[in-house]
Structure 1
Amino acid sequence: MGRTAQPAALKLLKGRGDGKDTAGRPVNQGPAFVRTPPDAPEWLSDEAAAEWQRVVPGLTRLDLLKPEDRAGLASYCEAWATFRAASETVQREGLTIEAKQGTLAHPAVAIARNAGREVRAWSAHFGLTPSTEQALARGADDGGEDDNPFA
């Protein structure tokens, strides 16, 4: 499996302008989805709902969301909630437990690790990783320097 393709909006934000990506290739805009944020599912856990409220405004501002992103965004938010709950359990109860077999890793350690991987994967899809943030920051505003030979 190769790398996952980035949404056209991310390519354009990171790109050279005039509808071109970082390599100067034209960006295929893809289907003309309506760019409005999805409604949060009513069934989200409290922590997932708080994460939804935290990330949706920024993603909306960048025109990265559409109603069809609801399931993916809900999955990201619930993975975050699971990661947080498991991490808090490890902080409260420790990394290990005592069992008949001896000292074992606390089950919440594996839960946090797996949820963290899921958060990282979903974050990349929505442009929420630190590397994507840096790329978006570079592409979002060139400071108005029209004579910049590197823009």
Structure 2
Amino acid sequence: MGKRGPAAKPTQLRVLHGDRTDRINDREPVPPVGVIVCPDWASDGAREIWARLAPELEKRKVLTTWDVDAFLILCEALARYRNATALVNGSALLVQGGSGLMKNPALQVQAEAERTFLTYAARFGLTPSDRQSIKVEVGGDQDHQGGPGRLLS
């Protein structure tokens, strides 16, 4: 059986929110600083998504060397979602099957990819509801005038 209840708040956020010190894990493992690159076995579609999203996540220390595989799953799921959506858009919702009309199989691929993407997107704070609890230093990012800055530490 998996863990129950809401997902634990990351330690960085506990510090930012001023949680009691006895509730902060001061011995949490910290990923080593290193170059973060897209794995060579990634699909072309995933590489395109990686190139679009990874630089900003890395700059904000959300994407670390330990997160590469999880982030690639996110990128592959979004690439698969794009491909399935293109198939659905180019064909009918119902297709001829062995026993008559059936739901287009691309819809199932699309739905599975969407679920996978949303699961991993939440882990990286890529949806509005997941970002709402993260506090950032406004104006701390030179590239985004008045936009999100970096996590406070």
TM-score (norm. length: structure 1):
0.76
- Residue identity opposite 1:74 in structure 2: L
- Residue identity opposite 1:39 in structure 2: V
Q: What is the match of residue 68 of structure 2?
A: 70
Deviation at 1:142?
6.4
Q: What is the match of residue 140 of structure 1?
A: 136
Aligned partners of 1:54, 1:35: CA distance in 2, in Å?
21
Aligned partners of 2:9, 2:78: CA distance in 1, in Å?
21
Deviation at 1:36?
4.5
Deviates more, 1:27-36 or 1:115-124: 27-36
Corresponding residue to 2:20 among 25, 36, 51: 25
Q: What is the 5 A alignment of 1:82-97?
A: 82-97=80-95
Aligned partners of 1:94, 1:119: CA distance in 2, in Å?
24
- Counting matched residue pairs gives 133
3-state SS of the aligned residue for 2:132? helix
Aligned partners of 2:51, 2:36: CA distance in 1, in Å?
11
Deviation at 1:60?
1.3
Q: What is the 5 A alignment of 1:97-136?
A: 97-136=95-134
Aligned partners of 2:16, 2:128: CA distance in 1, in Å?
22
Corresponding residue to 1:7 among 10, 21, 28: 10
Runs ≥4 residues deviating over 4 A = none
**Structure 2 unaligned runs (5+)?**
140-153
Deviates more, 1:112-121 or 1:33-42: 33-42
Q: What is the match of residue 143 of structure 2?
A: none
- Residue identity opposite 2:17 in structure 1: D
3-state SS of the aligned residue for 2:95? strand
**Structure 1 unaligned runs (5+)?**
13-18, 144-151
- Identity value in percent: 29
Report the CA distance shift for 1:58/1:140 in structure 2 as closer, same or farther (over 3 A).
Answer: same
Partners of 1:79 and 1:119 within 8 A in 2: yes
The structure where helix makes up a greater share of residues is: 1
Partners of 1:35 and 1:65 within 8 A in 2: no
Aligned partners of 2:89, 2:63: CA distance in 1, in Å?
34
Report the CA distance shift for 1:8/1:65 in structure 2 as closer, same or farther (over 3 A).
Answer: farther
Deviates more, 1:127-136 or 1:53-62: 127-136
3-state SS of the aligned residue for 1:93? coil
Corresponding residue to 1:81 among 55, 63, 79: 79
Considering Cα pairs closer than 8 Å and 6+ residues apart, tell me whether 1 or 2 has the greater RCO. Answer: 1
Aligned partners of 1:76, 1:94: CA distance in 2, in Å?
27
